[in-house]
Chain A
Amino acid sequence: MLLEVRDLHVEFRTRDGVAKAVNGVSYGVDAGETLAVLGESGSGKSVTAQAVMGILDQPPGRITGGEILFQGRDLLTLKEGERRKVRGAEMAMIFQDALSALNPVLSVGEQLGEMFVVHRGMSRKDARAKAVELMDRVRIPAAVERVGQYPHQFSGGMRQRIMIAMALALEPALIIADEPTTALDVTVQAQVMDLLAELRREYRMGLILITHDLGVVADVADRIAVMYAGRIVESAPVHDIYKAPAHPYTRGLLDSIPRLDQKGRELYAIKGLPPNLMNIPQGCAFHPRCPKARDICRTDVPEVHAVDEDRGSACHFWKECLNG
């Protein structure tokens, strides 16, 4: 396993109380594998990624338990200096909003080159040449002329390519992409996802794709972990989950999206709202919205049941759910 997150807990102390954002998340990614972490806003998918990357704002955030094993080492026990060497060089992150993730007053060449200056001790001149090479690799046209330009001079899709180039710069073993195409138009999204998939294959990187888009997941993922209220409620190979979900939340999500290839009647709508993280329901966190909920769901937190050897569901009635 390239990366293994074990029983991670993260909370945020706020003026109004403690928000339990991540409550015992475990997942793993192999080299060359794409894991999609699927969830709605507030499900803890991004917070988990920030903890893995070591960029969680602490305070107010706090990791209260668990391990993050990366190539065998527990990242949570490393000193900040060592952690910084891992970040960027061995694992890198691609953010949703490239315009705010890039520095507006530095040219893209300087920002790309900085990776080599800081981590590899290259001269500015060599770093600039490397930056041009990277821009070529992510297929930005006229890289030599554009290396001195600033982020605002690029289109949204091109900026996202620059982010990808920056993440790839030091050829990390793991890339975490947090909603990398959410801000892009569909035709540009297709370009960017294609590029990302191709580069991932070329470098045999592990990829964690954080998204809420079930379509994007179906297109690129090998495995899926579905998160709800800070927990993984179902994890499975991508084909299995779309064929027969083993958790009512996954089923609800799949049934609630309109599809391009089908003209639907009324959509299935999951009733209610995602829970307030300061006050997560007792028992199964999904029970107030679940059509299958019974007494046990209101009292007992469901364990992760093994549906298959590589498939788990945190539902008391996963068998029933699997059968529709």
Chain B
Amino acid sequence: MAEAIMEVGGLVKHYPLTRGVLFKKQIGAVKAVDGVDFTLHRGETLGIVGESGCGKSTVARMLVNLERPTSGTIKYKGEDITRLSGRALKAVRRNIQMVFQDPYTSLNPRMTVGDIIGEPYDIHPEVAPKGDRRKKVQALLDVVGLNPEYINRYPHQFSGGQRQRIGIARGLALRPEIIVADEPVSALDVSVQAQVINLMGRLQEEFSLSYVFIAHDLSIVRHISDRVGVMYLGRIVEIGRDAEIYDHPTHPYTQALLSAVPVPDPEAREKRERIILAGDVPSPTNVPSGCRFRTRCWKAQERCAEEVPVLAVPSPFREPGGPVAHDSACHFAAEAGVVEGQNNGPG
């Protein structure tokens, strides 16, 4: 495996809940992210999946330093970037860029496309001298598959898919090494989604980018990712290579999540076994003791309420080279192929 370009350790983000106006008193906390560890290798795509409220977007915002973690470290090439400020922070930010979800609100409607894509150069003038910028922006438009002559148009003159291309071009402007993409295609129509996903795949090779790809759509994440982490209520519950997660999941939550995804094959509907979870996700202000999934888990026992399961290779699966040897935070981890059975090969 390639070298690690980013290492995240014990990442926590708690938002305090306060009462009182003059004498603010903290009465609790929203535990949006509550201990996340992962490593991103150079040139790979790490997918992070989870349902709304699991903290995946907060992780994304901390990775690009839009949000300061409560505790924990984010090491970029060995240097902890959470404590940086001023010039050092600015230098790091150049290398870690973000692509946002909503191409309608993440582009300033009063700026031309040229200004939007060129704005990063105002902040980092060392990348492109003033006279050179227009050419650079046009080249970027070309790279993302837009006509370079559109440089003076405004965002409203573009469709959703084209706007997302503009957002990607802006992310590429500073030639970053890492791109954090938070639900980059979920606002797009199916036929346009494929265009943008293919574009991101192509750009990754062309610019040797490392992606952190955050999404709720498990099929898209499988398509684009080399490794996948599954989040639940502020923590990663299972992480591994894509085949390990999708074909040999060992955490009950991953299994339930995968079994719930509709597969575009009507022949599969009788054959498939669905795990329908009871109830809703607990509030992040009041996280269950022990394993946070236990309130919805059909395997839960007393131990699950008392002991927090560690994210590690579960003991029954430690023989080397086996397909299931990946990290899973469950006391009773067991393999179950929930996606198989419908896999009749292509066509």
Q: Tell whether, in the assembled complex, residue A187 and residue B263 are in contact, meaning their CB atoms are under 8 Å apart.
A: no
B195, B201, B218: the one contacting A186 at CB < 8 Å is B218
Q: Tell whether, in the assembled complex, residue B194 and residue A268 are in contact, meaning their CB atoms are under 8 Å apart.
A: yes
Find chain A residues with CB under 8 A from B77 CB.
Answer: none
Decide yes or no whether A239 CB sits under 8 A from chain B.
yes
- Say whether, besides A262-B346, A263-B222, A189 and B194 are in contact (CB < 8 Å): no
Decide yes or no whether A203 CB sits under 8 A from chain B.
no
Find chain A residues with CB under 8 A from B340 CB.
Answer: 261
Q: Tell whether, in the assembled complex, residue B195 and residue A269 are in contact, meaning their CB atoms are under 8 Å apart.
A: yes
Per-residue 0/1 for A229-265: is the Cβ within 8 Å of any B Cβ (1 yes, 0 no)?
Answer: 0000000001100100000000011101111111110
Q: Tell whether, in the assembled complex, residue B276 and residue A190 are in contact, meaning their CB atoms are under 8 Å apart.
A: yes
Find chain B residues with CB under 8 A from A282 CB.
Answer: none
Decide yes or no whether B310 CB sits under 8 A from chain A.
no
Decide yes or no whether B339 CB sits under 8 A from chain A.
yes
Q: Give the secondary structure class of B's interface.
A: helix
Per-residue 0/1 for B192-203: is the Cβ within 8 Å of any A Cβ (1 yes, 0 no)?
Answer: 111101100100
Q: Tell whether, in the assembled complex, residue A256 and residue B191 are in contact, meaning their CB atoms are under 8 Å apart.
A: yes
Decide yes or no whether B342 CB sits under 8 A from chain A.
yes
Bound-state Cα–Cα, A269 to B267, Å: 25
Interface centre among A186, A189, A218 (most CB of B within 10 A): A186
Find chain A residues with CB under 8 A from B261 CB.
Answer: 186, 215, 260
- Say whether, besides A158-B280, A267-B194, A218 and B189 are in contact (CB < 8 Å): no
- Say whether, besides A260-B219, A264-B223, A215 and B263 are in contact (CB < 8 Å): yes
Decide yes or no whether A216 CB sits under 8 A from chain B.
yes
Distance in Å: Cβ of B292 to nearest Cβ of chain A? 15
Find chain A residues with CB under 8 A from B193 CB.
Answer: 256-257
Q: Tell whether, in the assembled complex, residue B51 and residue A259 are in contact, meaning their CB atoms are under 8 Å apart.
A: no
- Closest A-chain residue to B341, C-beta based? A261
A217, A262, A267, A274: the one contacting B343 at CB < 8 Å is A262
Q: Tell whether, in the assembled complex, residue A187 and residue B51 are in contact, meaning their CB atoms are under 8 Å apart.
A: yes
A221, A238, A258, A260: the one contacting B197 at CB < 8 Å is A258
Bound-state Cα–Cα, A185 to B258, Å: 12
Bound-state Cα–Cα, A220 to B270, Å: 11
Interface hits, B249-266 → A, CB 8 Å:
256-266
Q: Tell whether, in the assembled complex, residue A260 and residue B243 are in contact, meaning their CB atoms are under 8 Å apart.
A: no
Decide yes or no whether A155 CB sits under 8 A from chain B.
yes
Bound-state Cα–Cα, A168 to B47, Å: 40
- Say whether, besides A212-B190, A257-B194, A218 and B260 are in contact (CB < 8 Å): no
Q: Tell whether, in the assembled complex, residue A40 and residue B343 are in contact, meaning their CB atoms are under 8 Å apart.
A: no
Bound-state Cα–Cα, A264 to B269, Å: 22
Distance in Å: Cβ of A221 to nearest Cβ of chain B? 8
Find chain B residues with CB under 8 A from A267 CB.
Answer: 194, 197-198, 223
- Closest B-chain residue to A222, C-beta based? B266
- Closest B-chain residue to A216, C-beta based? B262
B195, B224, B264: the one contacting A214 at CB < 8 Å is B264
Bound-state Cα–Cα, A221 to B346, Å: 22
Q: Tell whether, in the assembled complex, residue B280 and residue A257 are in contact, meaning their CB atoms are under 8 Å apart.
A: no
Decide yes or no whether B216 CB sits under 8 A from chain A.
yes
Q: Tell whether, in the assembled complex, residue A190 and residue B223 are in contact, meaning their CB atoms are under 8 Å apart.
A: no
B189, B222, B266, B277: the one contacting A40 at CB < 8 Å is B189
Bound-state Cα–Cα, A135 to B126, Å: 62
Q: Tell whether, in the assembled complex, residue B266 and residue A260 are in contact, meaning their CB atoms are under 8 Å apart.
A: no
A215, A264, A268: the one contacting B262 at CB < 8 Å is A215
Distance in Å: Cβ of B190 to nearest Cβ of chain A? 6
Find chain B residues with CB under 8 A from A40 CB.
Answer: 189-191
Bound-state Cα–Cα, A273 to B162, Å: 9
B52, B223, B242, B243: the one contacting A185 at CB < 8 Å is B52
Decide yes or no whether A295 CB sits under 8 A from chain B.
no
Decide yes or no whether A145 CB sits under 8 A from chain B.
no
Bound-state Cα–Cα, A193 to B274, Å: 12
Find chain A residues with CB under 8 A from B167 CB.
Answer: none
Distance in Å: Cβ of A182 to nearest Cβ of chain B? 10
Find chain A residues with CB under 8 A from B276 CB.
Answer: 187, 190-191, 194
Q: Tell whether, in the assembled complex, residue A253 and residue B269 are in contact, meaning their CB atoms are under 8 Å apart.
A: no
Q: Tell whether, in the assembled complex, residue B263 and residue A260 are in contact, meaning their CB atoms are under 8 Å apart.
A: yes
Q: Tell whether, in the assembled complex, residue B262 and residue A187 are in contact, meaning their CB atoms are under 8 Å apart.
A: no
B198, B256, B264: the one contacting A259 at CB < 8 Å is B264
Find chain A residues with CB under 8 A from B4 CB.
Answer: none
- Closest A-chain residue to B197, C-beta based? A267
Decide yes or no whether A82 CB sits under 8 A from chain B.
no
Q: Tell whether, in the assembled complex, residue B339 and residue A261 are in contact, meaning their CB atoms are under 8 Å apart.
A: yes
Bound-state Cα–Cα, A303 to B224, Å: 39
Decide yes or no whether A41 CB sits under 8 A from chain B.
yes
Distance in Å: Cβ of B189 to nearest Cβ of chain A? 4
Q: Tell whether, in the assembled complex, residue B274 and residue A263 are in contact, meaning their CB atoms are under 8 Å apart.
A: no
Bound-state Cα–Cα, A191 to B52, Å: 16
Distance in Å: Cβ of A288 to nearest Cβ of chain B? 13
- Closest B-chain residue to A141, C-beta based? B279
Decide yes or no whether A219 CB sits under 8 A from chain B.
yes
Find chain B residues with CB under 8 A from A199 CB.
Answer: none
Q: Tell whether, in the assembled complex, residue A260 and residue B190 are in contact, meaning their CB atoms are under 8 Å apart.
A: no
Find chain A residues with CB under 8 A from B242 CB.
Answer: 263
Decide yes or no whether A213 CB sits under 8 A from chain B.
yes
Distance in Å: Cβ of A188 to nearest Cβ of chain B? 8
Q: Tell whether, in the assembled complex, residue A218 and residue B268 are in contact, meaning their CB atoms are under 8 Å apart.
A: yes
Bound-state Cα–Cα, A212 to B216, Å: 16
Find chain B residues with CB under 8 A from A158 CB.
Answer: 280
- Say whether, besides A259-B264, A261-B342, A187 and B277 are in contact (CB < 8 Å): yes
21 A-B residue pairs with Cβ-Cβ distance under 8 Å, sorted by A, are A40-B191, A156-B52, A186-B260, A188-B51, A193-B262, A218-B269, A219-B269, A221-B266, A239-B266, A242-B267, A258-B194, A258-B223, A259-B219, A259-B223, A259-B264, A260-B218, A260-B339, A261-B342, A261-B343, A262-B343, A264-B223
Write the residues of chain B forming the contact surface with A, with a CB cutoff of 8 angstroms.
51-52, 159, 161-162, 189-195, 197-198, 201, 216, 218-220, 222-224, 242-243, 246, 256-269, 274, 276-277, 280, 339-340, 342-343, 346
Known pairs A186-B260, A190-B274, A219-B262 / 6 extra A-B pairs, C-beta < 8 Å: A158-B280, A212-B190, A219-B266, A267-B194, A270-B194, A273-B192
Counting from the closest, the 4 A-B pairs by CB-CB distance are A215-B262, A258-B223, A185-B51, A256-B194
